[in-house]
Structure 1
């Protein structure tokens, strides 16, 4: 980055828009536009890394879909205790009284009141001395300068200008990315463009259904909280919302008993999230390219549809004692501040994450898994039931995939410098968006975006120039997973070893889809075989012939130690002056591996420890496509 200031442009913008918010200086390292699930966490992480950070949010709340949209039932990542997602979850546990206290509905293991979620996220944000948040302020202009960006906002207290080194788009629909001219896609991709066999032949502009959620409260049997009959109310779209009200043979969906259905999104304190996908309040609208005024009008249609559904629940199904929750949202009608968008613009980034990369990460031309920064384990979940012409929509309902890790390059646009994209506008295909759009993934994408932005600003380089391994190292230090290995958690003493070795590909996990559960398993206690380690060694260090260590297919501790030492010598970036045998014995004791026996079979976890601590292959840099960059030694 250059430090030459565009004084004339600054002077003109300041003269026109004003020069302060709350009397504070308008220069920051990292500016985040949009305080949603990603934006909030990006701000927290950036500030923790020492960057002066500002979040500007158009509304009065932080949290986006988690809070402002009312989608307060977390989908996925229950067994992936990663980073800021885990920190937020622990705050929910502390607030409500433990894990069981938020298992109130059956759609999720973590449910909470949106107002409580916002309170906790706000507390996390306001605890950071390097982070400021400005609410109720809308971006007016954003202009590139020689040293970063100038952003002009219109807020409730007037206009203000912000000068920033790096900008993060944390909006719900990628509006800032469009404003600065970043190319993007909307809708379904052609299989011939993405190589995804399950994609349609031709691209189209069909996006996922949106939902205007409503939070209800149980006012007690005998209480009638029925709302006024909505204008043009028609009950027929909702007849099959639960069992017993229509002929199940005429539809292809499982129908739940009505009493079971209503418990789907039950929240603590006898509240209910109404976000029901089966002939419920999903609604098709594609507002992405509409101007704000037209979007607002369109949102009223989705809100009207949810009112109709609520009226149906109250009058046809007998849930009239459930009424709109009071004091849940700072809105006149008690509805959420914003609708729930499942899909937005998707930028054209340095890499595009396809379902092939997600489903078979170790079999692709480019090993994007080595650049992973945010993990997820939810299925490919697309909502298209409300689209008028179903013949144009391929069947993507819960397409089976393993757990996954999103590549860093999806956050960085191809041609616009000092700019990062998060939330649902990252560089993924339409199909993959069905998994990466979920709340924990967006939280973790925000954490990664904040890490990348802080490193970019602190080091005075563009996001694309930041070291992949440096981003990953900071995420690991913050307790965030790089690899989605469910069977090795941060409490395990060798978690860091497994994460680092997993991100090199030297030892590879096994991906599985088990019903609704998607996992990738490291199998830490299984024996290490030559067959399992050979592909990774061949890619990183093809000169090493591990057949030399073969007595049989299973490696011994001594074999594993010899491989680690030879790899360290090959990479030539790790001093081996230590007494290796004595050090390994200490590790065995510290990690509860049992008695050190060189002739015993070595487990995969033990092998990860030896490789990481002796050879440190994670220090070998990779580019944004996951390819090794051999710059460790002048001799290499």
Structure 2
């Protein structure tokens, strides 16, 4: 008996998990970065109990803790949570001198303000619990869900979740779970991309430790101590440059600057740098010192001693950001891999991944390598805005486990855009919607009904298609978004410099040739109607009503009178109703959404229509 008591005493007082707390949730997000935070907000708003675990003191990841606070990507698309974040920041800075309130202006904000905005949003979301400074320690399968161990408020905790989202910047949860990854450049044979290298390269993009500088006034001398291992030659290429002009690109409100200079405070990393906590810490420390060296160089060699690291922005010993800006690490093998052709030629591929969209992006691809890495620069040409397919965030062979950030199932060349923080915030909302769906309906990622998920995204002001010319204030916005993901009417890319915007052209006439293939694919009676009616090159309003009448067996005269009466008050169309006039793309979308309902046709993860 005495031995038993001693044994029990030992178990209770020396087993660190003996008093572990236990929680149950629908969705658990590990990593409160841009994607993870948006996923958590959306999952909770979709009426599912949701928990976010974040290792650091702030939500937002690269946007806030990483100091990546000059944001150009997705600025023309105020999609969902991302749009809400932008709106609140603009409201905060509206009276700040010099702040650009233009609708699609580059977003510039102080990291601490961005973190405060995200906290304010999450604090008001029901069903959402946020745990900061919480460390994730383990994960294992538990039925159709997962059991996760973590340390929250200093206490060991076990969380059982229906769905888990890896929202870490470096795919840490997926790695712990044993998910297979791709690393570096795929070759052309592996990805099918004509832009790909001939031989695969295990090279990943540099990270950057960003500093937020403050101008303390022309007479101030805020020179920092010489950093350990300082090497002036690393920065000599800046001599003779107009540094004040260069710094302007990173200007922030309140006389601050984001210090991120390509090739100067970039730090080259290898996948082995992320193989252990010790390796990661060593790489991170070297990256911090390189940025501190740049600050010291600007002060001592470029005459900018009045500029120094803002000592109120980040509560770190050196006052640099909490996290590095990480562009790439490892990419999970998903049920779908998104390739560049899904961006450049989404409509002509055998798979129609745009139909499975859960978010959009338009960030120009970044390429950050040092010469010693021997990595080729890719000529992307005019890079189009794009839709992100659902299958790229679902890990193959791991039901109810979703990935975000740099762990998404995309190629190296696609990751150069999808990794961008504002794109990730948009994608994160879609990931959160999918996770909530699986938990709410007690199902798995194998059985997702994508149209229900997409409809939920739209109902929370998200975008599925990157149509730049149809704003959310447009009365036909949702109808056009729904029609866009069916492919009935395709977006038109218009290159301008290094990018290409995608237009819907709502007031253009509909061509019979563009709608006939998809109508035949969706509706079994379409073939008979086209053979009988033989519409002209331009599809008319009369053709559209006739097609609807054929499918629904409606009386022609009664239906035409109904549409005429509903044209403005119910369909919200301001054009003239004329049966003989070519129908516009806007009018086609409005009528199709109400009467043909092509969006209701089920699809699989490749975009194929299901019976």
Tell me if both proteins adopt one fold, taking TM over 0.5 as the criterion: yes
Residue pair 2:522, 2:601 contacting (<8 A) in 1 also:
no
Structure 1 CA distance for aligned equivalents of residues 578 and 175 of structure 2: 60
Q: Describe the shift of the 1:332–1:234 C-alpha distance in structure 2 as closer, same or farther (beyond 3 A).
A: closer
Map 1:168-567; keep pairs closer than 5 Å.
168-241=165-238, 244-245=240-241, 257-277=242-262, 279-287=263-271, 289-384=274-369, 386-390=370-374, 393-396=375-378, 398-541=380-523, 544-545=526-527, 546=530, 548-550=532-534, 552-566=536-550
Number of residue pairs matched by the alignment: 595
Aligned residue for 2:485, secondary structure, equals helix
**Structure 2 counterpart SS, 1:273:** strand
Residue 15 of structure 1: how far off its partner (Å): 7.4
- Per the TM alignment, residue 461 of structure 1 is displaced from its structure 2 partner at its CA by 0.5
SS in 2 for 1:39: helix
Three-state SS of the structure 1 residue aligned to 2:358 is strand
| Structure 2 residue matching 1:420: 3-state secondary structure | strand
Q: Secondary structure in 2 aligned to 1:323?
A: strand
Q: Distance in 2 between matches of 1:197 and 1:316?
A: 45
| Structure 2 residue 131 is the aligned partner of structure 1 residue 146 | no
Q: 1:564 to 1:383 in 2, by over 3 A?
A: farther
Cα displacement (A) at 1:589: 4.5
Which whole-Å CA distance do the structure 1 matches of 2:50 and 2:468 have between them?
Answer: 33
Match of 2:69, SS state, is coil
CA–CA separation in structure 2 for the residues paired with 1:336 and 1:198? 35
Call closer, same or farther: CA 1:435–1:578 in 2, change over 3 Å: farther
- Runs (5+) with no aligned partner, structure 2: 1-10
Give the whole-Å Cα distance in 2 for the aligned partners of 1:418 and 1:556. Answer: 46
User: Structure 1 residue 302: deviation in Å?
Assistant: 0.6
> 1:154, CA displacement in angstroms?
2.4
* Aligned 8 A contact 1:104 1:267 in 2: no
**Superposition deviation, residue 548 in structure 1:** 4.8
Q: Any unmatched runs of 5+ in structure 1?
A: 1-10, 246-256, 631-636
1:561-603 per-residue CA deviation (whole Å, 9 max, x = no partner) reads 223444567xxxx999994542454233452422311122211
CA deviation profile, 1:450-473 (whole Å, cap 9, x unmatched): 111111011111123111111101
Match of 2:610 in 1: 629
Tell me the residue number matched to 1:609.
590
Kindly indicate whether residue 94 of structure 2 is the aligned counterpart of residue 120 of structure 1: no
Q: Does 1:28 align with 2:25?
A: yes
SS of the equivalent of 1:362 reads coil
> 1:577/1:121 Cα in 2 relative to 1: closer, same or farther (>3 Å)?
farther
Greater Cα offset, 600-609 or 535-544: 535-544
The offset of 1:547, in angstroms, is 6.1
Matches within 5 A, 1:588-603: 588-589=568-569, 591-603=572-584
Say which SS state the counterpart of residue 342 (structure 2) adopts: helix
Point out the more displaced range, 163-172 or 582-591. Answer: 582-591
- Contact kept, 8 Å, 1:585 with 1:596, in 2: the verdict is no
CA distance in 1, matches of 2:281, 2:175: 19
For residues 357 and 265 of structure 1, the distance between their equivalents in structure 2, rounded to whole angstroms, comes to 32
- Distance in 1 (CA, whole Å) between partners of 2:157 and 2:431 is 25
Deviation at 1:535, TM superposition (A): 3.1
Contact 1:209 1:387 (C-alpha < 8 Å) held by counterparts: no
Aligned counterparts of 1:578 and 1:128: Cα–Cα separation in 2:
48
Offset of 1:100 from its aligned partner? 8.9
Q: 1:102: Cα distance to partner?
A: 4.1
Q: CA deviation at 1:314?
A: 1.7
Q: How far apart, CA to CA, are the structure 2 residues paired with 1:577 and 1:296?
A: 75
Residue 239 of structure 1: how far off its partner (Å): 3.2
Match of 2:7 in 1: none
* 1:565–1:615 Cα contact (<8 Å) kept: no
| Matched-pair contact (CA < 8 Å) for 2:381–2:499 | no
Where do 4+ consecutive residues of structure 1 move more than 6 Å? 574-578
Could you list the per-position Cα deviations for residues 592-635 of structure 1 after superposition, in whole angstroms to 9, with x for gaps in the alignment?
A: 422311122211111111111111010000000000001xxxxx
Question: Residues 156 and 312 (structure 1 numbering): CA distance in 2 closer, same or farther, change over 3 Å?
Answer: same
Look up the match of 2:566. Answer: 586
Which residue does the alignment assign to 1:72? 69
Show CA shifts across 1:349-368 (max 9, x none): 11000001111000111000
On the 8 A contact 1:49/1:451 being kept in 2, the answer is yes
Q: Distance in 2 between matches of 1:58 and 1:441?
A: 22
CA–CA distance in structure 2, aligned partners of residues 610 and 102 of structure 1? 42
Deviations 1:255-310 (A, max 9, x none): xx432211111111111001111x42111112554211221111011111111111
Corresponding residue for 1:7?
Answer: none
The alpha-carbon distance between structure 1 residues 15 and 470, as it changes in their structure 2 partners (threshold 3 A), is farther
Alpha-carbon distance in structure 2 between the residues aligned to 1:297 and 1:326 = 24
